[in-house]
Amino acid sequence: MAIKTKDKPTEEACTDLMRTVIKNQRYRLKAKYFNGVAANEVPTTSHVSYMTDEQWKALVAKWTDPKNMVRVSCHILLFHIQFAQDLLIFNL
């Protein structure tokens, strides 16, 4: 069975896959170089070969943007609320 690379569903599937890979890659970078690190100790240059210093600085700027930090805090809060509700359901 041949894959038609020019078909819209194939292009959409590939695009979705690449978005997921990039999101996971950024998550791992943030966990390794940003989370739990003092602001003055966050690297100002890229420590990975596939990212330029300018790309790294843009990513750090996004992570330090208060708008993005609030969004993450809300997701963490919602996770904890759901976890607590699950514990009540199972009487744990």
Please state the three-class secondary structure of 3-57 as a single string: CCCCCHHHHHHHHHHHHHHHHHHHHHHHHHHCCCCCHHHCCCCCCCCCCCHHHHH
Q: Residue 87 domain-assigned? A: yes
pLDDT of residue 54: 94
Q: Is there a single domain that holds both residue 31 and residue 60? A: no
Q: Residue 22 domain-assigned? A: yes
How many distinct structural domains can be found in the chain? 2
Q: Is there a single domain that holds both residue 83 and residue 60? A: yes
Q: Residue 30 domain-assigned? A: yes
For 7-38, how does the pLDDT look when each residue is reduced to its tens digit (9 = 90+)?
A: 898 899 899 999 999 888 988 998 898 888 88
Q: Is there a single domain that holds both residue 10 and residue 34? A: yes
Question: How many beta carbons lie within 10 A of that of residue 29, not counting itself?
Answer: 19
Q: Residue 43 domain-assigned? A: no
pLDDT of residue 56: 93
The angle, 0 to 180 degrees and rounded to 10, between the axes of the packed helices 53-64 and 8-33 is 80
The whole-model pTM stands at 0.61
Q: Residue 60 domain-assigned? A: yes
User: Domain span at residue 30?
Assistant: 1-38
For 33-82, how does the pLDDT look when each residue is reduced to its tens digit (9 = 90+)?
A: 888 888 888 898 998 998 999 999 999 998 888 777 665 556 666 666 66
pLDDT of residue 65: 82
Q: Residue 7 domain-assigned? A: yes
